[in-house]
Amino acid sequence: MFLTFRWFGATDPIPLSHVRQIPGVAGVVSALYDVPVGVAWGREPLARLQGQIEAAGLRLAVVESIPVHEEIKLGWPGRDRLIDNYCKSVCSMGELGIGVLCWNFMPVFDWMRTDLALRLPDGSTALAYDHEALGAIDLSRGTGDLPGWATAYGADELRALLAAYRAVDAARLWDNLAYFLERVVPVAERAGVRMAIHPDDPPWPIFGLPRIVTDGPALERVVGLVDSPANGVTLCTGSLGALPENDVPAIARRLGALHRINFAHGRNVRVTGERRFHETAHPSACGNVDLFAVLRALHETGYTGPMRSDHGRMIWGETGRPGYGLHDRALGAMYLQGLWEGVTREAATHAGAHP
Ligand code: DNO
């Protein structure tokens, strides 16, 4: 395992020089944020981003994300051209030696919350989700006020998109995912890029839209669609952990044994009701996810890929991008690193080697 940190490019209020000072963090997770969805990523802009990161003494280790165009998820005829463009982007990554791609297949919305600043008893604020509150959100004016979307849509565009998805149930979405993977994974494999699908967050349907990558069996089904090491998953402990039925350490162990975990997001959540949760600080004791058991499962199955601390709270008066402040994610990075050192040295001791 090696530690990475997400950085949102030139508009990120956190400078790379700060990221460089977090002990143990060598890799950066980033993306080209000004390329419209569906347009192929050229090698030059990606090389510029890579150069900027290298100039700061770090390495661009993961692209998160190249968004998948809705026409691909909908299975519309235009998807072949869009899939070709996706393949070109993956090839640009490969040419520059950027080996891991985190992406998702969530219709219309990426991660979704109903409160971006829920106050916790210690005075920090965290991202929170309440399915009842979601039901009260008015989508008739577009995505304008929504917390946690990837792409912004105006009222008409969003209405048309939601109407189009009425023809796409979970089974159809699986077909469209398979169609996409069958075409992209062989290209990724040749390019030396490992794909890592991110589980749906939250892991259940929202606004009547299907969400299919929600639990361990679904992740295993995804990796079974195309049998290649380039077709793997992002083990996102917080996304999966929002569903109490998900035994995250067991999921890590099964996918890890298949060698299909290509990226890991360490995040913790506290489930407070039916489809209701808030994010917490990273340590196991703060939420419902046993991060120690997850990291042990990763270690025991030989995980060598990148990991990043995901979504932090806002602490110490920091303001900034919800979930992506510096302080709590840096604490999370230290915690994950400490756990990793612990499981690694413990295993070495048991093997009779010098710790
Ligand atoms: C949330 C992130 C996700 C993730 C995408 C990957 O903070 O983990 O938005 O980047 O789902 O495509």
Nearby residues of 77 by Cβ (< 8 Å), 6 or more positions away = none
Exposed, middle or buried, 252 (CB in 10 Å: 0-12/13-18/19+)?
Answer: buried
Q: Give the domain range for residue 123.
A: 2-353
- Could you tell me the distance, in angstroms and rounded to a whole number, from the CA of residue 214 to the centre of ligand 1? 14
For atom 6 of ligand 1, which residue has the closest CA?
103
Is the per-residue pLDDT at 353 higher than 80?
A: no
Q: Find residue 220's DSSP bridge partners.
A: none
Output the CA 340–ligand 1 centroid distance in Å: 23
CA distance 235 to 251: 8
| Closest residue by CA, ligand 1 atom 12 | 103
CB 32 within 8 A of CB 65: no
Catalytic amino acids? Answer: 198, 236, 265, 310-311, 324
Which residues approach ligand 1 with their CB closer than 6 A?
64-65, 102-104, 110-111, 198, 265, 310-311, 323
| CATH number for 199 | 3.20.20.150
Pocket-testing residue among 7, 73, 201, 236, ligand 1, by greatest number of atoms within 8 A of Cβ? 201
Query: Which pLDDT tens digit goes with each residue over 17-70?
Result: 999 999 999 999 999 999 999 999 999 999 999 999 999 999 999 999 999 999
Query: How far apart, in whole angstroms, are the C-alpha atoms of residue 63 and residue 102?
Result: 6
Sequential DSSP letters for 161-196 = HHHHGGG--HHHHHHHHHHHHHHHHHHHHHHT-EEE
Partners of residue 236 on adjacent β-strands: 265
Which tokens in the block code for residue 128?
A: 């929170």
Taking the CA atoms of 82, 87, 88 and 93 in sequence, report the sign of the dihedral they define. Answer: positive
Domain count, the chain: 1
Render pLDDT for 208-248 as a digit per residue (tens, 0 to 9): 999 999 999 999 999 999 999 999 999 999 999 999 999 99
Both tokens assigned to 1: 């395992």
